[in-house]
Structures are given as structure tokens and as C-alpha cells.
Amino acid sequence: MSQDIRSQIIHYCQRMDQKGWVANHDGNITARVSEDRFVATPTARSKADLREQDLIEVDAQGKKTAGAGSPFSELEVHLRVYRARPEVRAVVHSHAPSTMAVGCANQEMMTSAVPEAVVSLGPGIPLVGLFLPNSDEFWAEFDPLLAHYDAVMAAGNGVFSWGKTLELAFLRQELVEHLAGIFLATLPLGGPATLSSAQVSALLKKRAAAGLALPPDPARPLWFVD
């Protein structure tokens, strides 16, 4: 199990690099291998250059238990996802450029211009404001989102996504970046046209039927229409 997940992490690190989602030492991936044991990418390493033997292991408190590298500074973000969502097995973080642009503009992103995205991701991708990671201000905005979303943007810090498999966590990140690129491309044309509330509601019912529904976010009631 641990060896298989290590090869998957390296595969998706290389995919992030190939897609141009990371530069310098950007981005990180973790995967749960037991209730309190996680495989993680190390800090200060290019994702293009990582190999399986470079990955580290940490416990549920973020303490390194194996490997030569050091934990990355945003590890607590990943661990909070795992604590809040026991079904989650992997978390992916990147600085995908279109998503970064939307976040740097301090914009949240509704998905209701693209029907398939409503089913896959829910009605929107929320944004945590421009705070330092691991700050009280960051946690105050981030923690309440975890029960309601599978991807969250962070202003100036890209996007975090998660799922029951590493593939799903990566695919959700890929879809967020795809949507952000579409959103930005529509701006010179007047911005995206969106579905009606009734249409979004019908799509959310399909999302629920697929077993993907999460509790509505009380802070964004207009996103979760009846």
C-alpha cells in the first residue's frame, strides 16, 4: 500500500510540473496510508525532481516519522482536511496559474456556467483571504469550509483539493484550474453566463444521486439553491 501510493504521488508530482502548475518549490501532496500515518512530499524540492525515496512519512500531529527530508510548512492545512473529513485519503496543493489569478484578484468562483462542474465540484469554489498560512486568520476562514467543499482557493496561494483517492484529488484540482481558465477567457466578452437557480438545483440533485453531495454552506446560501 505505502509503496503503491508513493509511485502515485511521484506520478502526480510530475503531472503538476508538466501542466505548469508549480514553479520553484511550489506545491505539495499527501496521502493517508493508515489512520494516523501519511506519506508526503518534502519541503524545498522541485516536484519535477522528486523520486519515491525522497518522500517522507508523518504522523497525525505532523511529526516526521520516516525519510530524510523535512515536512513542508503547509502540512497543517492537509492535516486539518483529514481531521474534518475522515473519508479523505489524499490532498493536493498547487499554484496553478489561472486559479492563482482568480484568487489574487480576491474572487471566489461559482461553477454554474459549466453544468458538468456543478455535478463534479458543487456550486462554487470558495476563497480564503490573503492571510499567512498557519495563521489564526487563515484557520478562521479555512476550517468552516471543509465540511462543504472538495476544493478551496487561497488568495495568493493557489488551490487545495482532496478526495477519497489521490486520482480524485488531482482531478478536482485539474477541473478547478480548467474552470478558472474558462472564467478568465470570458472576461473580455462580458463574463460568464450562468445557469438559472432551477437548473443548478437539478444538477445538485444529480450530484447527490452520484454520492458526491456535501452539506450546504450556511455562509453562501445562494450557491445552494432549492
How many domains does the structure of the chain reveal? Answer: 1
Containing domain of residue 115, as a range? 2-223
Write down the pLDDT at residue 3: 67
Q: Is the pLDDT of residue 1 over 80?
A: no
Write down the pLDDT at residue 47: 96
Chain segment 160-186, per-residue pLDDT in tens: 999 999 999 999 999 999 999 999 999
CATH of the domain at 154: 3.40.225.10
At 42, is the pLDDT very low, low, confident or very high (cuts 50, 70, 90)? very high
Chain segment 73-126, per-residue pLDDT in tens: 999 999 999 999 999 999 999 999 999 999 999 999 999 999 999 999 999 999
Chain segment 135-158, per-residue pLDDT in tens: 999 999 999 999 999 999 999 999
DSSP secondary structure string for all residues of the chain: -HHHHHHHHHHHHHHHHHTT---TT--EEEEEEETTEEEEPPSS--TTT--GGG-EEEETTS-EEE-SS---TTHHHHHHHHHH-TT--EEEEE--HHHHHHHHTT--EE-TTSHHHHHHH-SEE-EE-S--TTSHHHHHHHGGGTTT-SEEEETTS-EEEEESSHHHHHHHHHHHHHHHHHHHHHGGGTS-----HHHHHHHHHHHHHTT------TT-GGGS--
